[in-house]
Amino acid sequence: SHMWHRLREKYSQNFSDQVLSKIQCIPGDVEKYRLGLTDEHYHILTQRVEIIIHAAASISFNDPLR
């Protein structure tokens, strides 16, 4: 994807080490105000983050198939 291509260009040889050292998982809830984030996590996301990879999904196993 475009995002991974940009990261590989930026970090070239040390891509895996550089990227993995910067990845941090922050739990949230997309149905809540400000994603249900703590003030600290919200500040990190709004002030220091360049790329967000979200994995939001419904975990209800009773959702209808479309």
- Against a cut of 0.85, is the pTM above it? no
Nearest to 18 by CA among 55, 51, 54, 56: 51
Contact 7, 17 (CB under 8 A): no
Return d(Cα 58, Cα 33) in angstroms, integer: 17
How far is it, in rounded angstroms, from Cα 18 to Cα 23? 9
Q: Do residues 37 and 28 lie in contact, with contact meaning Cβ atoms separated by under 8 Å?
A: yes
Which amino acid is located at 16 in the chain? S
pLDDT digits (tens, 9 = 90+) for 4-44: 788 778 777 777 787 778 788 888 888 899 989 999 999 98
Dig out the tokens for 37 from the structure: 């984030």
